[in-house]
Amino acid sequence: MFIRQLDYLVTLSREKHFARAAKACYVSQPALSAAIRHLEEELGVPIVQRGQRFQGLTPEGERILNWARKTLAAWEGLRQEASIARTHLAGTLRLGAIPTTMPIVSLLTGPFRAAHSEMCQLVQSLSTEEIIRRLDSFELDLGLTYLEDQCLEGFRVLPLYRERYMLLARDPASIGDCQEMSWANAAELPLCLLTNNMQNRRIINAAFRRANAQPRVVVETDSVFALYSHVRCAELFSIVPHSLLCLFEMREELAAIPLTPEINRAIGLIALDHDPLSPMVAAAWAVTQTLDLEARFDTMISGTYQPIRAND
């Protein structure tokens, strides 16, 4: 019961509403409220500020919330350890990924499932800042994000590849069938780019500034798939990480042209640097170390890429 009470408390803090928290925990609202009151009685301190609606936690409640998150994370690790003893790793691996990596997350989750078929996975598209916050609060197990210009002290880091930027074109003849293009020349094209609040766009904006160029952005979107659609169907151009090329049908539909000077950013997996790692995180980490995503993505530029088959 104590573990369940802590779970109710963490959920209430996240939802900030008793009815929504009860629904998320699959219990009635009176049952959740009673469990929180029992927890207060057991610990001898007020946890929730009382009122007709949820008004937040007391200062004591905030401190207890931090311990509750750590305790639930440790409990999940204990359950995973027990599942190993039963020869099968079971549970849910929670992975947060920055938006531009979402299309290639399956290159991680597929091998994870192949190695541990009873393991479930929850994948969420999040900013780097939100990934770090949720890892710190034990709401995520792993993050897939940029490794540079971030405060990653206290995190275990596994570099996976360097993100390189390409101009995506529907008809390369319209720009002279060039083999590469400068950022200044790319700025003159009608572009569809991600929105300014996204880190990928901020990297692209910085490259244009270094080239003393003002890009001609005619469509902005927060969807990577919308970038592809606007290039393929609306006669626009876009700038995308080369890792996304394996997702698009590049042979006949689109062309990818390297931008010069080249800029690149490191992408990798991060986890809280606890010792020991939870069995599920350790298992996913070990599988990821066997992958060579950089080589796979770089073949898309060299033209030697072969489609991935189900049994590869």
Reported confidence tier of residue 54, pLDDT bands at 50, 70, 90: confident
Alpha-carbon distances, residue 261 vs 76, 100, 164, 208, 230 (angstroms) = 47, 21, 11, 11, 25
Residue 83: its pLDDT value, please? 62
- Which CATH architecture does the domain made up of 89-159+267-291 adopt? 3-Layer(aba) Sandwich (3.40)
Give the burial string for 13-50 (b: 16+ CB within 10 Å, else e).
Answer: bebeebeebbebbebeeeebbebbeebbeeeeeebbee
| Helix 59-85 with 2-15: angle, nearest 10 deg | 120
Strands (E), the chain: 91-97, 119-125, 142-146, 155-169, 181-182, 191-194, 217-221, 238-241, 255-260, 264-272
Domains 2-82 and 162-265 share a fold: no
Number of neighbours of residue 3 by Cβ within 10 angstroms: 12
Q: Where are the domains of the chain?
A: 2-82, 89-159+267-291, 162-265
* Amino acid at position 287, single letter: V
* Amino acid at position 56, single letter: G
Q: Answer whether 16's CB lies under 8 Å from 57's CB.
A: no
| Spatial separation of the C-alpha atoms in residues 269 and 271, rounded to whole Å | 7
What are 155-204's pLDDT values in tens digits? 899 999 998 899 999 888 888 888 899 999 999 999 999 999 888 899 99
Whole-model pTM: value is 0.67
| Spatial separation of the C-alpha atoms in residues 146 and 32, rounded to whole Å | 39
- Supply the DSSP string of 231-270, one letter for each residue: HHHS--BEEEEGGGGGTS-TTTS-EEEEEES--EEEEEEE
Residue 149: its pLDDT value, please? 63
* ∠ CA 262-263-267, rounded to 5°: 135
Give the residue among 267, 244, 293 at the shortest CA–CA distance from 148.
267
Residue 217: its pLDDT value, please? 97
Q: What are phi and psi of 307, to 5 degrees?
A: -55, 145
| Topology (CATH level 3) of domain 2-82 | Arc Repressor Mutant, subunit A (1.10.10)
- Which CATH architecture does the domain made up of 162-265 adopt? 3-Layer(aba) Sandwich (3.40)
Q: What are phi and psi of 179, to 5 degrees?
A: -85, -20
What are 92-148's pLDDT values in tens digits? 899 999 988 998 999 999 999 998 888 899 999 998 889 998 998 888 999 999 998
Question: Is pLDDT above 90 for 298?
Answer: no
